[in-house]
Chain A
Amino acid sequence: DTGVSQNPRHKITKRGQNVTFRCDPISEHNRLYWYRQTLGQGPEFLTYFQNEAQLEKSRLLSDRFSAERPKGSFSTLEIQRTEQGDSAMYLCATRTSGGADEQFFGPGTRLTVL
């Protein structure tokens, strides 16, 4: 257990529904990342927060995706009008500024869109 928590762990939804995932970082970690991982592949970067500021977004993050980190602590990732291609593991990772470069990952949220 890295100390990063994600909820829910699993989500099954029907195509067209909206879903929201939550990530709670290690308390002193001000940097937070969202990744998407499909079966048999490495993670793909989605977006990055430093404190509450969203500093970088991937082209993968279409306008159906939105992420927030309102108080610089927990973060949410929302997918609107889900599509079957959104089925994947959504990973959250956090780290401190400076110091070690490693990112600490949560257990992920597995999304299945039927």
Chain B
Amino acid sequence: AQKITQTQPGMFVQEKEAVTLDCTYDTSDPSYGLFWYKQPSSGEMIFLIYQGSYDQQNATEGRYSLNFQKARKSANLVISASQLGDSAMYFCAMREGPSNYQLIWGAGTKLIIKP
């Protein structure tokens, strides 16, 4: 079974609108971490936001927020007031366990912002 599922291969969004990118995860470990990264066409992987499984509040970083619904095993990324520069691939990733080393990645969502 897929550990990280991103069901939207691609999305088109009008500039200045908010956008939600979906991510569901599968783990039986009570301690885990969820990450979102952005990968522009230039290729570098840019960290956006992190949510720990024991965090009570949803994580926020500027225009990015993570809608964490633990019971549903959902960790959607919300980008408010989208900009043309937000066009990129977006990846959801998970670290299982408190000391596990690797990140498990979803297949990504290609987001295109229309002017």
Contacts and interface: CB of A to CB of B under 8 A. Distances in A.
Are chains A and B native binding partners rather than an unrelated pairing?
A: yes
Nearest to A102: B47
Nearest to B33: A101
Given A43-B105, A45-B103, A48-B102, A91 B45 contact: yes
Contacts of B68: none
A56 B45 contact: no
A5 B74 CA distance: 33
Contacts of B106: 42
A101 B102 contact: no
A2 B101 contact: no
B93 to A, nearest CB: 7
Interface string A42-86: 111100101000011010000000000000000000000000000
Q: How many interface residues does chain B have, given as a range?
A: 20 to 34
The residue among A31, A40, A110 with the most chain B CB atoms within 10 A of its own CB is: A40
Interface residues of A, number: 27
Contacts of A107: 42-44
Interface in B66-115: 91, 93, 95, 101-108
Nearest to A44: B105
A105 B44 contact: yes
Contacts of B44: 2, 105-108
Contacts of A93: 45
Contact of A43 (B33, B45, B46, B50): B45
Interface of B: 4, 33, 35, 37, 42-47, 50, 52, 91, 93, 95, 101-108
Interface of A: 2, 31, 33, 40-45, 48, 50, 55-56, 58, 89, 91, 93, 100-108, 110
20 contacts: A33-B102, A33-B103, A40-B107, A42-B91, A42-B93, A42-B105, A42-B107, A42-B108, A43-B91, A44-B105, A45-B102, A45-B104, A101-B35, A101-B95, A102-B47, A103-B47, A106-B44, A107-B42, A108-B43, A108-B44
